[in-house]
Amino acid sequence: MATAAKKSSAQTSAKNKSTTTKARPKKGSRTSRRTATASKRPKDAIALLKADHKEVDAMFKAFEKTDDDAEKQELAKQICQALTVHAQIEEEIFYPAAYDAFDEEGDDLVDEAQVEHASAKALIAEIEAMTVGEPLFDAKVKVLGEYIKHHVEEEEKEMFPECREAGMDLKALGEQLAARKAELTASLAA
Ligand SMILES: [Fe+2]
Ligand SMILES: [Fe+2]
């Protein structure tokens, strides 16, 4: 018994020792966890918005390519939802920050963007009320795609460079945008 107890205690101690010895490699793994976290860290505001633009552009392209009605209906739904969330986070968080940072000339860019959002939203509402196969369904999605393409070009080529120049806190804004996007996406899925 005593021997067994001793053995067990020796095992425990060996176990502890090995845990202690493993402390070094663990340090390394903490570092790799940190690196993994870093890569998952929210993108800065411009990177996040550009990623959204790219994602929706791919959906428009998929819509153009397919002849399958069910797929078209699903893609149209996804496009409308993605654009609704994207427009809302821009209007709630990004555009107000841009107004704050910009001079009058810059403000005109944001004014234009807001007007474009309003028109896009009207078209989105029409598409959401329609079913694939109805007259003008495909045309409305196509026009929305062209419309968004133009809007995205203005944001990426004119507004975003202005944001960098104006020294906006893009990292903090990126975190806010990501948090709000997650919230809105979850409420749409519910
Ligand atoms: Fe926009
Ligand atoms: Fe945008």
pTM to 2 decimals? 0.79
Cα 99 to middle of ligand 2, angstroms: 15
Cα 71 to middle of ligand 2, angstroms: 25
Cα 137 to middle of ligand 2, angstroms: 23
Q: Cα–Cα distances in Å, from 179 out to 35, 75, 83, 172?
A: 21, 24, 16, 11
Which ligand minimizes its atom distance to the CA of 120? 1
Give 110-143 pLDDT, tens digit per residue: 999 999 999 999 999 999 999 999 999 999 999 9
Which ligand minimizes its atom distance to the CA of 115? 1
* 178 and 47 Cβ atoms separated by less than 8 Å: no
Cα 148 to middle of ligand 1, angstroms: 8
Give 16-32 pLDDT, tens digit per residue: 444 444 444 444 444 44
Cα 107 to middle of ligand 1, angstroms: 14
Rounded to an integer, what distance in angstroms lies between the CA atom of residue 146 and that of residue 161?
A: 22
Question: How confident is the model over 152-161, as a mean pLDDT?
Answer: 98
User: What pLDDT is stored for residue 40 in this prediction?
Assistant: 63
Residue 90 is given by DSSP the state I
Cα 5 to middle of ligand 1, angstroms: 71
Cα 81 to middle of ligand 1, angstroms: 14
Cα 183 to middle of ligand 2, angstroms: 18
Rounded to an integer, what distance in angstroms lies between the CA atom of residue 122 and that of residue 130?
A: 13
Cα 184 to middle of ligand 1, angstroms: 16
Give 72-112 pLDDT, tens digit per residue: 999 999 999 999 999 999 999 999 999 999 999 999 999 99
Residue with tokens 């959204």: 52
Residues 6+ apart with CB under 8 A from 180: 88, 89, 92, 93
Q: What is the DSSP string of 126-170?
A: HHHT--TTSTTHHHHHHHHHHHHHHHHHHIIIIIHHHHHHTT--H
Give 25-68 pLDDT, tens digit per residue: 444 444 444 444 545 666 899 999 999 999 999 999 999 999 99
